[in-house]
Each structure stands twice: as structure tokens, then as C-alpha cells.
Structure 1
Amino acid sequence: MVFAGTIGLMLLIVALTRGGETPAARPAPTALASIAPSVSSVAPPKPSELDSVWVSQSPSPTIAIGGDATISFAFRNTGQVPWVRGTASEARLGYVGNNSQFDPRMAIDWPNPQRPAAQTEAVVAPGQPATFTFKVRGVVAGTFRIDVRPVVDGVAWLPDQGVYVEVTVR
């Protein structure tokens, strides 16, 4: 009886020193959580698994100096692996021209100077189209050609299909 009283007293002291709180229960890990990789841990695809074909694009815009235009391209994923936004298999639209064809000051919020846009969709399965949308601003008068093609950065450029848009600034 003294032993049980001592144990009870010790438990009471522990509870009081911890503020009377009990530790929060943690959910048990599920089998799915242990085998399903997170989206950010998707391994990069092999270059041979990547391919695309041009589907459509916005018409070539004419804008005023100081004005802007939104341009969209669609490419179908004809490869063997999905393009997953935010991972090593994300498809981006790569600018493949040179600065004599395009004034870099025209780029509005591009991910970087050579990448006008990343895929809009979260996942683009093989056979599905991806949309790439970006904006340009008129900074000087002239006609500016923007040559583009899809790329999975760090892995491979997808086929060059001669896709471009001309932006006329007046």
C-alpha cells in the first residue's frame, strides 16, 4: 500500500511540474506515407523520356510603348513521364533567341531572363497539353521576335519546332 501511494505521489509531482499537460498524441505513420515520395523528391527524368509537340499559341500582339501583352503557348507532352510543377521534371518555356531579336527589358516577371514561363498545370501527363503564359511590355518601337521551346532545366531541351511569336511595339 505504501508502494502504491509513493507511485501516486510521484505521478502527481511529475504532472504538476509539467503544468498538468499530457503530451499530445501523435498519429501513427501510415503505410502510404512511408512509401509515397513527396512531390519535391521526384527524380529527374532521363532525356530520352522527354518529348513534346507544339499545339497552339496566342496571336502575335501589337502594343504601345508602355503597354503590355499576355502571350500563351501550348505544347503537348509526348514523352514517357509526366511534367510535375515544382520538381525536377517541371517543364519551362525556354527563350532561344538572342538580344538582337528581343529587348530583355520587355520581360515582365519572367522566372529568369531565359525562361519566360513554367507550366501552368500542376501535372501534365503524357498525351496532355501544357500551357505556358508570360507577359511582355513595350519599351521601344519595333518588331521583336521571341523564339521558344520547352525545356526541363538540368535535363534536356525538348525538340526545336521553330516556334516563335512576334511582338510589335508602336
Structure 2
Amino acid sequence: MRFSPAALASLAAFVLLLGLGTPRVAEGAILDSAEQDLVTRINAFRAARSLPTLAVSDTLTAAAKWMSADMGGRNYFAHTSLDGRSPTQRMADAGYPAFGTWTGEDLAAGFTTTADVLNGWINSPAHYAVLVNPQYHAIGVGRGYSAGSTYGWYWTADFGGVADVARATPVSRATTQPQPHSAIPAKVALPPDSGYHATWSAQSADPVVYPGAFTTLVVALRNTGSRGWYRGVTEQQATLGTSDPPDIERPELALDWLSANRLATTTTDYVGPGEVGWFEFTVRAPSAGGDYLLALRPVVDGVGWLEDDGIFFTLHVPSTIPGRRVNRVQ
């Protein structure tokens, strides 16, 4: 397995947040004792694994508190909020630079203690991957309680790759969350696993490509999820996307890609759980000599990114061209 020099990669599992019209969130990183304890537990968990501890972000805290209040107030449990916003969009709306860095989110419902919340995430592979992602440096957590809701307590943890310092722009203004005095039995509810997972299996060697010439590369990924990959089927097709940062467009390297940030899908129509899928694509060398890093990550568009195993290629482009050129693009 290969890792990008920019980051030893892990999963950035994306989740979604949003909320209610009435419940409000605190301005800035004002955490109650349980929220602070959850942050402390998450940081202790990461520190024990030699991972960076997370700074509390005002903006991520605002987004997380708002999401928990919205889920409880509107009685739903989903990563996409009822207004259709993604977690990344909600974080951005709270003032966090979400579209320029790594973001992720874990949700839980029905838990009454922070220890149970964290254990629930640890025992779920998709949520565990968020907890141990070394790309994250900031966190915001929020909990909300609604006596008439299905689960009572709702918990949100939002993660980001940048430790911002600006105070949050209020998403809405809210009162303090009511304390639970309800007979509703506590239930455990974690966001369902999408069933899409992958691990790196093999790839081509780093190529030497002369300016303007092109070369074909391959990546092999094992389907470690519970669902198959179907080529050409919306929200079931596994694709190689650009990474570091996610979705960055690389038109200077693209040659017959699906788009400037989607290189290729599987060479076969179906890759079942446990099987290896092959992705073949062509890159064109820029006109200037140098080393060009191309970081990649699998994605099922419409569902989310798969595990980030730090896949990358370094294209070595000589500054001088020999007398005979091969594989020229016309």
C-alpha cells in the first residue's frame, strides 16, 4: 500500500446535517459538560493511536449543535438534513472553510452517555474510520434533546482538516436544550452503513512520460463492502476520483477521463463483494518538466467517498526530450 507524502490517508466518511426552524444553536464553541467530555474522549482515543488531537472549532460546533437540534425537533435521523443540505454545505454555512479541506461527520441517537456514543462509533467501521482519520485537526460536537422524538437524545460530531479560529456565524438563535425527563426508552441508532467499501490491491509503477506524451495506468481495488459495483448504474458505480484535496480538477493530466476529476470506472460491468476491480486510465504529461503528483480515491457518486488508502502516482516528466518522441497526442 502506498501513502501520499501529503497525508497518511484514512477514510473521510461524509455525513450530512441541518435542521429545524425553531431550535437554536450557541454562537461560538460553548460546550456543555457532556459535549466537552465527548471531545475529551475522542482526543484521548486519537492520542492513544498517535493521531493528532483536535482543536474545538467555533464554526464546526455551531454546525453540529444545529444539526442535533434539528434532528430532535423534526424527529428524523439522517445524514442529509430535511432541507437537502450535505454536511459539507452545513459546515460551510456555519462559516467553516469546508469546501477547501477534509470534512466528515458522525451521528448517533438514543445514547445518554458520552462513553456509549463513542463506543457506538468505534464499533461501526464507517464511523471508526472518521475517528482515526489523520487528516482531521478540528472538531465540533453538539447534542440535542427532544422529549417527543423517537430517540430523545441526538448527537453530532463534525470534523475538519483546518483548525479555524474565527467565531461562527449564527445559523439560528436558540434556547438551551431541555434536560431529559422522559419515559421514552433509550435506543441505539447509528447512520446505516452504505455498504460501499474498498481497499487498495495493486497499481502501476510510477511512469516516466515525456512532455506532451501519454501513458496508461491501472489501479486495482478490492471490494470489501457488502454491495456490488455496477458500471454505468447511478449510485452503484465505483469510480476513481481525484484527491488531495477531494474533487480537485486536473485538466492538465486528463486524457479521455470521465471528467476533470473522475478518471475511470471499473473495466468490468460488475465487481462483487470480495472481488478485485480494475480501473484503467490514461494521463498526459504537461509540457513543462518536473514531478507531478496525482492522488486518487475511490468514490460512488451520489453515495460518498470510499476508504482513502493514500493512492497516488508521481509522474516524472523529463525537461529534455530525446530525438524520437513516442505516444504523442495529436
What residue number does 1:38 align with? none
Residue correspondences, number: 123
Q: 1:50 to 1:102 in 2, by over 3 A?
A: closer
- Contact 1:73–1:132 (CA under 8 A) maintained in structure 2: yes
What residue number does 2:299 align with? 151
Deviation of 1:164 after TM superposition, in Å, equals 0.6
Matched, 1:142 2:290: yes
CA distance in 1, matches of 2:255, 2:270: 25
Q: 1:53 aligns with which of 199, 212, 217?
A: 199
Matched, 1:104 2:251: yes
CA distance in 1, matches of 2:227, 2:276: 13
Q: State the identity as a percent.
A: 37
Q: Any idea what SS the aligned residue of 2:194 has?
A: helix
What residue number does 2:61 align with? none
What residue number does 2:262 align with? 115
What residue number does 1:125 align with? 272
- Contact 2:293–2:312 (CA under 8 A) maintained in structure 1: yes
The runs of 5 or more residues in structure 1 that have no matched partner are: 1-45
The runs of 5 or more residues in structure 2 that have no matched partner are: 1-191, 319-330
Q: 1:95 aligns with which of 242, 254, 257?
A: 242
Per residue, is there more strand in 1 or in 2? 1
Q: 1:128 to 1:102 in 2, by over 3 A?
A: same
Q: Rg: which structure is higher?
A: 1
Q: What root-mean-square deviation, in Å, do the aligned CA atoms of Structure 1 and Structure 2 show? A: 1.7
Deviation of 1:104 after TM superposition, in Å, equals 2.5
- Contact 1:108–1:137 (CA under 8 A) maintained in structure 2: yes
Q: 1:156 to 1:63 in 2, by over 3 A?
A: same
Q: Which has the higher contact order (CA 8 A, sep 6+)?
A: 1
The one-letter amino acid paired with 2:258 is: P
Question: Residue deviations 1:24-71, cap 9 Å, x none?
Answer: xxxxxxxxxxxxxxxxxxxxxx75311111000000000111211111
Deviation of 1:130 after TM superposition, in Å, equals 0.7
Q: Any idea what SS the aligned residue of 1:63 has?
A: coil
Length-normalised TM-score, structure 1: 0.68
Length-normalised TM-score, structure 2: 0.36
Q: Any idea what SS the aligned residue of 1:94 has?
A: strand
CA distance in 1, matches of 2:237, 2:249: 25
Q: Any idea what SS the aligned residue of 1:104 has?
A: coil
